[in-house]
Amino acid sequence: MKAEIGARNCLYPMPTTLVGALVEGKPNYITIAHVGIMDPGSVSLGMNKMHFTNVGIGANGTFSVNIPSVKMVEETDYCGLVSGKNLDKAGLFKTFFCKLRTAPMIEECPINMECRLTRTVDFPSHDIFIGEVIETCCDEGVLTDGFVDLAKVDPILFTMNDRSYWKLGGRFAKAWSIGNKLKDRK
């Protein structure tokens, strides 16, 4: 039996990220889980216009997307609770740069993507920043046969419904593969 529950966004869980930008010349990090994948090489960030970080992304045309591990959940949640307007959140982490000189990244996060802003989509209360991934850095310890292994990353997944963080469970099937059984039967 289907229940109609109103216009509720249930496209969850989403990966929780720490987005980095230089704001007024200083690194700043903010927790964002309203993210997306556009084409395979591009990502999106849905960021309320009130955030301090938005100004820096617009000014520099660059940002970073850092994927924290479950063990970083306190710091990750904290970066969504306080604004860089009032507090220096970058002091929580060791900042590094790679190819882009204006996309600060977090050493402690096992995955870091530096992005060049390619488009901004304007929503009434949100800037949607779309960026092309320019370079990806990762801890060597999260690679398995040269691939980023999410089981080793241990990401923090987010659901808005119950405002909770979740762990990733186990890998259970191959994509573009398990459906072949059904294809063969058709």
Query: Which of 26, 50, 94, 96 contacts its own copies by CB under 8 A?
Result: 96
The footprint of its own copies on this chain (CB under 8 A) covers a number of residues equal to 102
87 binds its own copies, rule: CB under 8 A: yes
Please give the backbone phi and psi of residue 139, each rounded to the nearest 5 degrees, phi first: -65, 135
C-alpha to C-alpha distance for 12 and 63, rounded to whole angstroms: 24
For residue 95, list its beta bridge partners: 106
Stretch that binds its own copies, among 20-28, 54-62, 70-78 (CB under 8 A): 70-78
Residue 19 contacts residue 45 (beta carbons within 8 Å): yes
85 binds its own copies, rule: CB under 8 A: no
Indicate the residue among 52 and 78 with the shorter CB distance to its own copies.
Answer: 78
55 binds its own copies, rule: CB under 8 A: no
138 binds its own copies, rule: CB under 8 A: yes
86 binds its own copies, rule: CB under 8 A: no
Please count the other Cβ atoms lying within 10 Å of the Cβ belonging to residue 170.
Answer: 5
C-alpha to C-alpha distance for 124 and 163, rounded to whole angstroms: 23
Q: How far is the CB of 35 from its own copies (least distance, A)?
A: 6
37 binds its own copies, rule: CB under 8 A: yes
Rg of the chain, C-alpha, whole Å: 18
Indicate the residue among 59 and 126 with the shorter CB distance to its own copies.
Answer: 126
Query: Which of 18, 57, 67, 103 contacts its own copies by CB under 8 A?
Result: 67
78 binds its own copies, rule: CB under 8 A: yes
C-alpha to C-alpha distance for 156 and 134, rounded to whole angstroms: 23
Residue owning tokens 């808005």: 160
